[in-house]
Chains A and B, each alone.
Chain A
């Protein structure tokens, strides 16, 4: 008699094949091509000369300018992730435990900003932050302060990315809290735990793998942020994704741009893996159920 598990996996093959093929062609194909490009040599007139050189990677790691850009990207991503968790956790928790008939309205209000593109929302921040913009007018006219320059600062970039990533974080966290049985908190309360303690000792450990996913989602989105750093950060502020674009399009340096892309991807993947290791073993994903 045929092994049902083997029959099942054989039956799954035709279902999995189209998606797998698509991923291989659309994702791995260009990645392989970019990996090859990253080993080529730049030439001002030919753009790229075939070679097998690690020079583009060496240029990144030996030049403090490029290392600084990576550090800035990591710093902004970390701050944005922490801010999104700080703002997102209470919102998601309140939303998950709400039995109000307006719950769907609150949820809709969180989803609504996702209907507007990141560039459009960032343009709104530009109007708010610009010299002579709304914030500047309010502060100078009402409080008689000196004109403030918020545009083209790291703070402006962080505010802009938090506004874009927050709905993603809240939605991811809300689904995590929805999956935790409220009776567990009731049980904790019946044993004398105050709500804050019940949250810290019972809910949070159970939610930790989901919180990690939400944090990773936010972190990865920020590591690859493009429009907000360009529009709100201005020419003096550098993050990795705009730098890759700049090298690729403006300087036509395809080999170096490809190397930068791989360095960014490797850094993000490594940190995501390390983040999972930081969570106590018993709370890690796939365990404890």
Chain B
């Protein structure tokens, strides 16, 4: 039998050659920051406004860990006992950010470590959660077909809108807050909200699985009015969809999206650099221009068309933040109520 003979030195040399790429790595950034974030436009804008223009020149390599918010929260809980978690930054909406802070999963914010923290608007400050962008809940309508849009949540119940109101089912909890605000002036008074929500549902409410389903529904004429974040109406207008936003007379609930630093973030120094970078005025202005969200810092002034589009009407509407301590307690119960009575109703 013929045996293939390979000299030992050749064999060792070949093995070394094969292993070379792992030994001689291309020059990589000295610091690495893993950001747990949503995908899509948000992830792209993080790259375009924070990662590439601000952190890359500082030698920080940003890796995005893309996924939904609830699994991200679960990941933080599951990794609680580990000395080093998998994320340096975790993106959350304010309710989950507050919940994670309450669960003892997050590092307390320190203005000394990220100087831009001092520029956060006072009404958005939270000890554990960095507000990144925010928007307001408004009544959306099709300006081509609706000349007299609803002025408040109560107007949506008018039979003239039967079968013409659409909302996103994942925002059901927020819609309940809007109903509560209209009914009692308090966004957390869910008992007052429930009858109004049931009435709205009985009026032929259209439910859509995702936020992006609303714009085509307005365009096709399936719906004419709804409730959504003001930022979305701006995005859709800029994309050519017939959607306009109107602030409800009873006030507008705030949606704050932000980031948090897990207690077991692998590289804390880099993490604070990221926190500082996302609050830079240029990054904040970039998100406003492309996503229609308002800056959370006082030094990011908006100019031009976007300033006009995002300007509050005069007189400025009442802006209402939910009591996150309370929403944390009742969210699961309210979500359950929504699933059974509205989705299944």
Instruction: Give A contacts to B, CB under 8 Å.
Output: 42, 44-47, 63, 65, 68, 130-132, 230, 234-236, 238, 246, 249-254
Residues of B within 8 A of A131 (CB): 217, 220-222
Given the interface pairs A46-B103, A251-B335, A252-B74, the reply to whether A236 lies near B68 with Cβ below 8 Å is no
Q: Residue-by-residue, is B290-309 near A (CB-CB < 8 Å gives 1, otherwise 0)?
A: 00000000000000000000
Residues of B within 8 A of A230 (CB): 209
The 7 A-B residue pairs whose C-beta atoms are closest, nearest first, are: A235-B169, A45-B103, A235-B207, A132-B220, A65-B340, A131-B220, A47-B77
Residues of A within 8 A of B238 (CB): none
> What is the bound-complex CA distance between A44 and B332, given in angstroms?
7
Q: Is B155 an interface residue (CB 8 A)?
A: no
Residues of B within 8 A of A44 (CB): 99, 328-329, 331-332
Return the contact of A250 from the options B70, B99, B220, B328 (Cβ within 8 A).
B70
Q: Is B343 an interface residue (CB 8 A)?
A: yes
Instruction: Give B contacts to A, CB under 8 Å.
Output: 68, 70-71, 73-74, 77, 99, 102-103, 169-170, 207-209, 217, 220-222, 328-329, 331-332, 335-336, 339-340, 343-344
16 interchain pairs (CB within 8 A)?
A44-B332, A45-B99, A47-B74, A68-B344, A130-B220, A131-B221, A131-B222, A230-B209, A234-B208, A235-B207, A235-B209, A238-B343, A250-B335, A251-B332, A252-B70, A253-B332
- Please name the residue on chain B nearest to A68 by beta carbon: B344
Residues of B within 8 A of A254 (CB): 74
- Whether the Cβ atoms of B343 and A45 lie closer than 8 Å is no
Residues of A within 8 A of B340 (CB): 63, 65
Residues of A within 8 A of B209 (CB): 230, 234-235
- Whether the Cβ atoms of B343 and A236 lie closer than 8 Å is yes
> What is the bound-complex CA distance between A234 and B170, given in angstroms?
12
Residues of A within 8 A of B74 (CB): 47, 249, 252, 254
Residues of A within 8 A of B339 (CB): 65, 246
Residues of A within 8 A of B222 (CB): 131
> What is the bound-complex CA distance between A254 and B74, given in angstroms?
9
> What is the bound-complex CA distance between A254 and B78, given in angstroms?
12
> What is the bound-complex CA distance between A70 and B234, given in angstroms?
41
- Whether the Cβ atoms of A45 and B328 lie closer than 8 Å is yes
- Please name the residue on chain B nearest to A66 by beta carbon: B340
- Whether the Cβ atoms of A42 and B332 lie closer than 8 Å is yes
Given the interface pairs A45-B103, A249-B70, A250-B170, the reply to whether A236 lies near B207 with Cβ below 8 Å is yes
A232 CB, nearest partner CB in chain B, Å: 11
Residues of A within 8 A of B71 (CB): 249
- Please name the residue on chain A nearest to B331 by beta carbon: A44
- Please name the residue on chain A nearest to B103 by beta carbon: A45
Beyond the given A46-B77, A235-B209, A254-B74, please list 5 additional residue pairs across the A-B interface where CB-CB is below 8 A.
A44-B328, A46-B103, A47-B77, A132-B220, A250-B68
- Please name the residue on chain A nearest to B213 by beta carbon: A234
Residues of A within 8 A of B77 (CB): 46-47
> What is the bound-complex CA distance between A132 and B74, given in angstroms?
39
Residues of A within 8 A of B329 (CB): 44
> What is the bound-complex CA distance between A68 and B345, given in angstroms?
12
Residues of B within 8 A of A238 (CB): 343-344
B12 CB, nearest partner CB in chain A, Å: 32
- Please name the residue on chain A nearest to B102 by beta carbon: A45
> What is the bound-complex CA distance between A246 and B169, given in angstroms?
12
B136 CB, nearest partner CB in chain A, Å: 24
Residues of B within 8 A of A250 (CB): 68, 70, 170, 335
B75 CB, nearest partner CB in chain A, Å: 10
B290 CB, nearest partner CB in chain A, Å: 27
A251 CB, nearest partner CB in chain B, Å: 6
A146 CB, nearest partner CB in chain B, Å: 12
Residues of B within 8 A of A46 (CB): 77, 103
B212 CB, nearest partner CB in chain A, Å: 13
Residues of A within 8 A of B169 (CB): 235
Residues of A within 8 A of B170 (CB): 250
- Please name the residue on chain A nearest to B329 by beta carbon: A44
> What is the bound-complex CA distance between A273 and B220, given in angstroms?
48
Residues of B within 8 A of A236 (CB): 207, 343-344
- Please name the residue on chain B nearest to A132 by beta carbon: B220
> What is the bound-complex CA distance between A44 and B95, given in angstroms?
11
Residues of A within 8 A of B344 (CB): 65, 68, 236, 238
- Please name the residue on chain A nearest to B71 by beta carbon: A249
Return the contact of B70 from the options A45, A65, A234, A251 (Cβ within 8 A).
A251
Residues of B within 8 A of A68 (CB): 344
